[in-house]
Amino acid sequence: MDTIIKILATITIIISLLLWVPNIVFQQPSFLWILTFVFSGIGLLLAVSIKSKVLIIGNTITFFSFFLVMFFGYLLDFLTTQLF
């Protein structure tokens, strides 16, 4: 049972990362990134249930990925406008 939950928690990380592809890679505005909160939340619950630290950290990072992307995007924009 633990291996099935581990696989599902890993799949939620992968799905959460793939939901960012239209916005970041293709530069197409898409609201799919909102689903990262849902999938990462489910993955976080699954990871906590099997007490896997790596999966807990991975799902937590993908849960807060919106804020990380915004931070690095604004940081990159600030640095490029200040340096060039």
Q: Say which residue, 84 or 24, is predicted with more confidence.
A: 24
SS3 of the chain: the string is CHHHHHHHHHHHHHHHHHCCHHHHCCCCCCHHHHHHHHHHHHHHHHHHHHCCHHHHHHHHHHHCHHHHHHHHHHHHHHHHHHHC
pLDDT in tens, 28-61: 888 888 999 999 999 999 999 999 999 999 999 9
pLDDT higher than threshold 80 for residue 84: no
pLDDT at 48: 96
**Average pLDDT in the 7-31 region?**
91
- pLDDT at residue number 24: 84
- Tell which residue, 19, 28, 22, 31, has the closest CA to residue 65: 19
